[in-house]
Every structure is written in C-alpha cells, then in structure tokens.
Structure 1
Amino acid sequence: MSLTLAPADLNIIRKKDFLLHLFGEGISHSKAPLMHNYLFKKLGCDGYVYECLDSYGLDAFKELIAANKDSKSWSDLKYIGSAVTMPYKVAIIPHLDEIDENAKSVGAVNTIYVRFKDGRAVNIGTNTDTVGIRDAFVFNVPEVAATAKGKPGLVYGGGGACRSAVYALKEYLGCSKIYLVNRFASEVEKIQEEMAANGFTGEIVHIATPEQAKEVANPHLIVLAVPDFAPVTDEEKLARETLDVFINQENKGAVLEMCYHPTQITRLYSAFHEAGWDVVGGIEAMIYQGFAQQVLWTGYSLDEMPTKDVVDYVRETIEEPCLRHDMVGIKL
C-alpha cells in the first residue's frame, strides 16, 4: 500500500466533495476550520469542507467511516479523512484499520486518512501533532532549532500534548533526553512506561524539584503543555517552582507555548519572554500540523502549498491587538 497517490487518483479526489470533521468535545473555539477551509480554496479543492463536530461519543465517527464500506475505488469514495482531538485521540484507535509508527509511539491519533489496500478503503491513523511541534520551532526559530541536537529538551505537563512533544523533541529535533516537569510522579511513570512499550527509545527524566532542576544540564527547547491556569495545589506550585529554575537559567533557548485559547499571551508565555527566551505561540503548531494533514487528504506536498499565504492569513485573522504594538519581537 502506497501513501503516495497516482496522478490520476489525485485528479479524482481533488474534484470530489468531502466533508471533513474535527471530532472532539468543547471544540467550538478551534481555529482549525479557519485554516483548512482557506487552504482548500487556495489549492482548488473547492468541494472540501472542514468543520467541527462537537461530539459526546464516537457514534458519528463510526457512521462516517462506515460510508466507505462498499467503496472499491477513489471514484466512489465517500469519506477522505478526519481530525481528532481530546478526549478521543486514544479511544479512536480500536475503530481504525491501521495506525502508523508515529501514532503507535505517541499512543494517540489526531489524524485519519484513507488509502486503498487489496481493493478496499483502509482508515489509517497518524499523529501530525508531532510534525506541528517540530515545524513550529523549525520555521519560527530556525537557528535555535538547528542547534538542538544533542542537548536536553523539556516538556511541562503530562496531559494530552505531552507525548507528542516528547516524541517531536527526541525523534525530529534530536534532543539528547527529555526532562518532564509535572505535578504527579505517577503520570510521568505512566508516560515513560507506555511510550517505551510502544517502541519509543528516548530517555524521559522526571525533574521533580527545584533542587533537581539546578543540578541538570540546561534544556535548549521547551514545550509548555498545560492550560493557562495559575497553580493552586501544592503539587502544581512545586511543578511551577521547578519550571522557574529553567525559566531563569543562564543559557536561554526557545519555548513553544501550546496553549493559545482564549489568549496566546499566557502567564507562562509572558514569564519566558520577560526572561529572554524566544517564545513561539501555540497557533504555529496548529498551523503546521494542519499542513501535514492536508498532505494526506489532498495529496499536495508541502512545497506545492501556499504556506506563507496561509500562515499570514491565520495570524492576521486571530492576532490579538496587543501583539501588534506592545510586544514587538514575540514570534506568533
């Protein structure tokens, strides 16, 4: 089974009508439809429409993929793929025909695409969040990203985005080991054990206290993967105090703040920026993982896409007024 489609097949699917969904809960704020529908039009895929499906359960998804059960070729395909977000990134896996090595190592799927195998449509799961994290660094802070190999990386938080960040820092950006700062040691242990069981070979080190943080080599790249809430519990306060050691380290690198709703300028964004770090807004990861999804759904390569046009459009559409004047130099 080839992931690359023949030119004749590409001509067929690009002229068809497809409704693509983002499956998840509480997703009305998502900026993904803004980006995808703009890019579909730019690529000439006028029959492609992307929308959010705020769904409590997987029944709607199972109904959609069942539409392809009688499809024998691209001409009669009814469903081309979907995006998946929380809380279904893991729950969706048993309903797919295959997942790739990327999704297996991360243990979560955020993208589904269709290919034909032995005369039938096959639903394949992958994880483009990893690509989005990588490219958010590569295209916004290229000098910093280029010097990450062999240096530690760090992820703050043990929730949904953590594993994708760990994978991207190690496998794509070449970090020597990944520090994990999180409020609960049990969550860190679970991440270590499950990612190792799924084939991830990188070293994940729990940094549990400020004292421990002062003893390790400085991280070069950091991914912030927590909501924009002030710490309340003792565990949350300890995790933040531990992170503060890295915020104030002598040698600064680059930080990706994954949280961008309701504001891109989060508490942590401001703290890192004021300390002298290069800070990249989370909307960048959303944009670049979206490009990776479109490669799978439309067959256009990244080089064939009007990436600068799309990036500028999304930035300008959602940019907050304070970013235009007050925070010159911050990378969005």
Structure 2
Amino acid sequence: MIKVYGVIGDPISHSVSPDIHNDAFSRYNLNSFYHHFHVTPTKLEDAVKGMKAIGVRGFNVTIPHKTAIIPHLDEVDETARAIGAVNTVVNRNGRFVGYNTDGFGYLLALKEEYNQSLDDKRILLIGAGGAARGIYCTLVKEGIANVDIANRTVEKAKELVNDCPYENHTRVFSIHEAETNLNQYDILINTTPEGMSPHTERMPLQLHKLKNDAFVSDIIYNPLKTKLLEAAEQKQAMIQNGLGMFAFQAALAFEIWTGIFPEVERMKQIVLNKLGGTEC
C-alpha cells in the first residue's frame, strides 16, 4: 500500500517540496507519494485530525502553522519544544510526533558556504517568526553567543529570546535601530518572507550601513536572488540564498520519515531546475 506524505501551509501551491521528495522516494524505491495540502489557519485542527484518520505517514509544516500546530500533536521533540515551532511531523504508530529541522538545516547550509568560524562573529537575525525560532535557538544552542534580533514588533522578538532555554547575550532592536547599527554585524540572516515571490520588490530592511565584507543570508529561495541579496551584492558583500537551508532541512525531514539521508546536491538541482535559475 502506498504511503502518503505531504506539506501543509497557506499559501502552498508554490512549494517545490513535492518535486524533491517524490524524486527521493523514487530514487530509493519507496512506495510513497508526497502532496501539498492547502490548509488555512481556521482549518488546521481539522486538517491534522483528517491526516491522522487517513493514515498520512508524515508531513512538513510551513507558514503560518509552525507554532500553531504544536497543541494538535501527540508529542513534540525536545528541540522543537525549545524552539517553539515544528516543521516536520512523523506518524509513529498512530501518534503524530513533531520535530524542527529548520534550525539545524540552516546551520549546515551556513557552514557549507561561510568558510570561517562563527564563534567570534556578530550576527543579526531579521524576523521573529517560526523559521527565526528554529535558526535562533540552534545558533545559541551551538554556543554562538553574539546573535541579536531585529523585528518590526520588538515585543515578539523579546518573546523569542525569553522562550529559548539556551544561554545567550542577545539584544533586540526595531528594524530602524538595526538599520542604524548594521556596521556592527558580520552576518545578516533574513528569516522574513519580505522579498519572496510574488512580492519580489520588498526588502526587510535597508543596507545603507552594511559592511562591505559582511555575509548576507536570505532563507528565501524563490527568487534565488532577492532584492536584499541584490543590494548586498552591490555593496560587495558575500551572499547566500535559501536553497541550501531548504535542501538540508528537507533531507533531515526525509531521514526522520525513512531512516535514509538523501543526496542534498540532487535536491538543490531539482529546485534550481524547477525555478529555472542558477545558484548565486
């Protein structure tokens, strides 16, 4: 009998997750199929119950459900609980167990492209949503001490810091304050959807005071080069899009479901082919 997997979100039709996971299922001869499910916030509880009722074997969780889904799961992994967000769910004997692969997936991608130690670097994280939670808690759990957060709503950023159980020295700023002090930071990480297709003209903040030897990372992969990355490149900064994070977090999710860690480079190439672009 075919095993069903999927991804839930709102919106969700743009997702390339079915392409990479169905390719991996085929490559490893697994009788499984991955589908995207459009689930609005008001239907989240019903959707989780329905997926359990029909025996869905696992699914990914994306915007805006990563935090809201937690009360609807039977169990949540310790790391995901600390982060306060879930992006991967596996069906274990009829029980839905939640994990978060965003943070570690991002860290693997960052280390792959940023060939320096992170220990003494000053990092500015932009945003305080579900993806930010995973990345922030993973960074400070790894002992990276100098991670600050900028967000439109400062109180939400403070909640993120307070909710994360790992020792940190984080300062919280408004977007305007962060723009004023950008020259303090070696690495910028955008975790917001500002600049994601179809709103490609948007930027989460201005880069007038960015250091020209900074590293600017955007977790968006569609488009492959956001307006933020274009602006950073014009200031001679190194840039990284969200393709690596997307592939690594997907590979980690696939491993949770199947016990197999798939080929990350193959996953990246599928996304590139789907988007009709090349890596930046």
With structure 1 as the length reference, what TM-score do the two structures score?
0.73
Given that 1:132 and 1:289 are in contact with CA atoms closer than 8 Å, whether structure 2 keeps it comes out as: yes
Partner residue of 1:123 out of 90, 96, 108: 96
Q: Deviations over 1:228-278 (max 9, x none)?
A: 1667xxxx9xx735x542x2x2542x33211233x2221101011222222
Choose from 239, 242, 261 the match for 1:282.
242
CA distance in 1, matches of 2:178, 2:4: 49
User: Are the equivalent residues in 2 in contact too, given 1:24–1:85 (CA < 8 A)?
Assistant: yes
Distance 1:142 1:190, change over 3 A: closer
5 Å-filtered alignment, 1:242-281, equals 243-245=207-209, 247=210, 249=211, 251-252=213-214, 254-261=215-222, 263-281=223-241
Matched, 1:312 2:269: yes
Q: How many Å separate the matches in 1 of 2:141 and 2:236?
A: 27
Number of the residue aligned with 2:135 = 165
Q: How big is each residue's C-alpha offset from its partner over 1:138-195, in whole Å with a ceiling of 9 and x where there is no partner?
A: 23x1513xx11232221112333221221233234x4222111222322222222233
Distance 2:151 2:213 in 1: 22
Residue in 1 that maps onto 2:23: 38
Aligned length, in residue pairs: 270
| Equivalent residue, structure 2, for 1:70 | none
Q: Distance in 1 between matches of 2:218 and 2:89?
A: 25
Residues 153, 176 of structure 1: 8 Å contact kept: no
Give the Cα separation in 2 of the matches to 1:24 and 1:277. 33
Distance 2:179 2:225 in 1: 28
CA deviations 1:254-305 (Å, max 9, x no partner) are 33211233x22211010112222221111221111100000011111x3xx3
Q: 1:66 to 1:202 in 2, by over 3 A?
A: farther
**Superposed CA offset, 1:22-76 (max 9, x none):** 111111001111111111111111x211111002212122122134xxxxxxxxx
What stretches of structure 2 of length at least 5 have no aligned partner? none
Distance of 1:122 and 1:256 partners within structure 2? 36
Q: CA deviation at 1:318?
A: 1.8
Residues 1:66 and 2:53 are matched in the alignment: yes
Cα separation, 1, equivalents of 2:258 and 2:9: 22
| Residues 1:176 and 2:157 are matched in the alignment | no
Alpha-carbon contact 1:156-1:181 (below 8 Å) kept: yes
* Structure 2 residue 13 is matched with structure 1 residue 28: yes
Query: Which of the numbers 133, 143, 149 marks the counterpart of 2:115?
Result: 143
SS at 1:204 equivalent: coil
Alignment match, 1:72: none
RMSD between superposed Cα atoms in Å: 2.4
| Paired residue type of 1:183 | R
Distance (Å, rounded) in 2 between the aligned partners of 1:319 and 1:143: 28
Aligned position for 1:6:
none
Q: Return closer, same or farther for 1:210/1:60 CA change in 2, 3 Å cut-off.
A: closer
Q: Does 1:54 align with 2:38?
A: yes
From 235, 254, 257, the counterpart of 1:297: 257
Tell me the equivalent position of 2:167.
201
Distance 1:210 1:289 in 2: 28
SS of the residue 2:181 aligns to: helix
Aligned residue in 2 for 1:219: 185
Question: Identity over aligned residues, as a percent?
Answer: 25
Unaligned 5+ runs, structure 1? 1-15, 68-77, 324-330
Between stretches 19-28 and 175-184, larger displacement belongs to: 175-184
Instruction: Report which of the two structures shows the higher radius of gyration computed on alpha carbons.
Output: 1
Report the TM-score when normalising by structure 2: 0.86
Deviation at 1:126, TM superposition (A): 0.7
Look up the SS of the partner of 1:191 in the other structure: helix
Structure 2 distance, partners of 1:130, 1:318, is: 24
Q: Evaluate the alpha carbon distance shift between residue 244 and residue 102 of structure 1 in structure 2; reply closer, same or farther with a 3 A threshold.
A: farther
State whether residues 148 and 221 of structure 1, in contact with CA within 8 Å, keep that contact through their aligned partners in structure 2: no
- Spell out structure 1 runs of 4+ moving beyond 4 A: none
Q: What is the alpha-carbon distance in structure 2 between the residues aligned to residue 122 and residue 149 of structure 1? A: 39
Q: Which of residues 182, 186, 205 is equivalent to 1:240? A: 205
Q: 1:51 aligns to what SS in structure 2?
A: strand
Is 1:190 the equivalent of 2:156? no
